[in-house]
Chain A
């Protein structure tokens, strides 16, 4: 056993120039990441952005075409992969655990793979599955299955936890319970790398977020700093039934950024209350009718829209 290299000690994960090419797509296109020990790092991006491919390369499940990966001071394929896996917890985007086993049997099976770890019942308590311990996996709800996947990832008491879209497809309440489990892990000092296309999830759980599109990082910072980069705190979006020029909107008071997200216009503004009257006046003066007006506090989604001109859930 060699001690972790001193240079890497501050980073739980560090990768350089990561590339993965599939026959018809460049899934990951030269990615650099440094994840600090103890932080929760989010990969935020739309479907097909390359989040899963990136995470699975970090997990040692997919071999990169190029680039280097260092995890907890080690590298894959150096003969101590199993020792490294002892310290990782993994939840894949789409695993169907065996439906015929019970909840407790499943966690117990995963526990047996690790030299050290947490007590099975303790993890069931943590995941809120103690009541369902004797239920077959096939009979669980989506939220319960997801919590079971988390329990299996946590039972080895990992230092580093990978979560690939942990709350996709769950209702808000089930999502909240997943978040609480992740927060418990963070509170114990664990490092988390999580992918998501929900900005609320990234904003709530992540210390830093990398926004990914087409296999590249297009922005990386804390959620607050990313939102602040819009230079505005509120978002106004609307549809009009005729032609408008971008500079006409940009000239309105308090407008920082104008984005065309057809068929909508999206304005990042300092104060919606100050901008709206002038916007309405402009449209009336041009004889245009406004539709689907909405205003909200700026979120990471707006950062993504600003950077790409597309929504996170669009293809």
Chain B
């Protein structure tokens, strides 16, 4: 009448069954699937389109309709001759608006009543641009250079341009690894936090604690079930980046997988820690947001964290999402190997182990 577990491996049996149950619960939750897989891909697409290099990489310039028509036509011809400029003829008002919205970087104007110098020299110009923006300053220099050369200025020093295009230097190349990191954090924390706290409020944790189940098995199964989705999550975002924007993985795919795995386990440990005590979904949501907030702001998902002051950088680099983003970018953008990534890898490992270790000790079963 009694049955023994086949194979006698009870330990593995319980862990496998717990993991299987968690995976089934997840895939039967359509909202969760949306947030983990669909949302990040949509975000990558939207941001990729918004930040794609506009005008085929040319600098947008507005030329005002003002000034003597002949002089303006001549100036327009000179500007249009440059392959680096995208010239629009606008009236005063439209040009001001375009500058505010950064649809153009600089406005070029001929003084309306500027007397043409008698000796046939070109009439004087005015540049209007946002000096606080690097793009504005660069556009002004570029336009001025085009005009001055066309009017006969000679270079005092011979110079040669050496174009060194870096692989993966576009914004979308920077963004995709960051989105992978952000998503691993989000799905690790939310995916674990909610289900653990709901199981607690439903007294399911208490019920499990009343069985001979090893308590560590339950916690481990939560972390393990993340691994299956991890591959899919990373593949969804990286695949969208590759297909839609041509974002390549410069380094090895195996290393990308390893780094993602570490990141998922690290946030799995942190997620368990955050979910170890709270009794309500509201409480755990608050904690989740509190834990993630500094990383949303500081960890360089959407822009480089190197812009923060020097003294803050060591702290920022110690955050798990920063470490994960650094490691992902190291593999995807810079093609680095494991040897060059030891620092972020160790940081991830430490967060994961500490999170899991403390969670096991303080976990509230009822």
Contacts and interface: CB of A to CB of B under 8 A. Distances in A.
Interface of A: 59-61, 82-83, 85-86, 88, 90, 92, 94-98, 100-101, 105, 108-110, 112-119, 122, 136, 152, 156-157
B25 A90 contact: no
Contacts of B29: 100
Nearest to A91: B207
The secondary structure that dominates the A interface is: loop
B207 A95 contact: yes
B5 A101 contact: no
Given A92-B207, A98-B204, 11 more contacts: A82-B214, A85-B211, A90-B207, A92-B210, A100-B25, A105-B21, A112-B18, A113-B212, A115-B4, A117-B3, A152-B207
Given A117-B3, A157-B2, A96 B202 contact: yes
A103 B332 CA distance: 44
A285 B13 CA distance: 78
Contact of A95 (B17, B18, B204): B204
Given A61-B366, A100-B25, A109-B17, A114 B204 contact: no
B38 interface: no
Contacts of A115: 4-5, 10, 212
A97 B2 CA distance: 25
Nearest to B218: A113
22 contacts: A82-B212, A85-B210, A85-B212, A86-B212, A88-B210, A90-B207, A92-B203, A94-B203, A98-B21, A98-B25, A98-B204, A100-B29, A101-B21, A105-B24, A109-B17, A110-B211, A112-B17, A113-B208, A113-B211, A113-B213, A114-B212, A116-B2
> Which of B1, B3, B21, B210 has the most chain A CB atoms closer than 10 A to its own CB?
B210
A243 to B, nearest CB: 49
Interface residues of B, number: 31
A118 B24 contact: no
B206 A61 contact: yes
B271 to A, nearest CB: 18
Contact of B3 (A61, A98, A101, A118): A118
Nearest to A84: B212
Nearest to B205: A95
